[in-house]
Structure 1
Amino acid sequence: MIAIFNKFKTGLLLLILSISFTLVSCSKDDGLEVQNDFPFEINVMPVPKDIANGQTVEIRIVIQRTENYHHTQYYLRYFQFDGQGTLRYYDDDPYLPNDLYPLAKEQFRLYYTSTSTVSQTFDVWISDSFGNEKQVSFQFNNSN
């Protein structure tokens, strides 16, 4: 009878210790944070400084992630300040200024076609699904 009572006390003590350990370890802040911000950088290959009316310039862009989160979606929008032209993704229809377009790849080419005889300036904004955003500015002088 005493042996059963000792086993019961030992089991009860182990149960109390394991519950106490679990509660202490759950409430402890061990500095782990869930990352929900995945910054990125934009790399652009050099483009010509001058463009003629009707000429098309290829703009090669690479999105470089600092972290590789599988479900990140990237978007593009642009706004033209000076001059006139069209910006398109590969053979797609031209983009409308300040509309948001999803990007299928992190390495892609844009094509800007001048429809102006003056200098042209526009910005391309690339954002991700976490609210990060990068701006790239382009300026082309008119060439005859």
Structure 2
Amino acid sequence: MNMKKIHFLIALCGCIFAALSLASCEDDIDVDGTYPFTVETMPVPTRLVQGETAEIRCQLKREGRFSDARYTVRYFQPDGKGTLRMDDGMVLRPNDRYPLDREVFRLYYTSECADQQKIDIYFEDN
């Protein structure tokens, strides 16, 4: 074998090694980690007078059981004025997230005005 062929083979091996070392391998494992859930509620009054409190009975229904799943609640109030609190007495502030530590719970909304009111409650998971 002459020197040109040896240099060519060394250069070819170097190129192959460089190409293989630059090729990326994907470290991410493609695991479907979505576990759908819903929150079921009992019917809630549509109209409240000022000072009246409505009880919102809620139950979190999970389709899967992921041990590290965390759920939160938050709300917005586009119309009217009132206070939303958890069954443990904690008053919720609009747009702040609060952890849910159980699957059956109650929320209490107290009207603070005579106008028509609307609140949007959102439940999220991690």
**Equivalence map 1:1-144=2 (5 Å):** 34-129=31-126
Partner of 2:31, secondary structure, is coil
Query: Over the residues paired in the alignment, what is the CA RMSD in angstroms?
Result: 1.2
Moved over 2 A (4+): none
**TM-score, normalising length: structure 2:** 0.73
**TM-score, normalising length: structure 1:** 0.64
Partner of 2:38, secondary structure, is strand
Post-superposition shift, 1:94? 1.4
Structure 2's unaligned 5+ residue stretches are 1-29
Among the aligned pairs, what percent are the same residue? 43
Q: What does residue 142 of structure 1 align with? A: none
Post-superposition shift, 1:107? 1.2
Q: What does residue 18 of structure 2 align with? A: none
- 1:87-138 per-residue CA deviation (whole Å, 9 max, x = no partner) reads 0001323111000100111111000000010110010010011xxxxxxxxx
Post-superposition shift, 1:34? 2.8
Structure 1's unaligned 5+ residue stretches are 1-32, 130-144
- CA–CA distance in structure 1, aligned partners of residues 58 and 106 of structure 2: 6
- 1:17-66 per-residue CA deviation (whole Å, 9 max, x = no partner) reads xxxxxxxxxxxxxxxx6331111112111011221100111001111111
Aligned length: 97
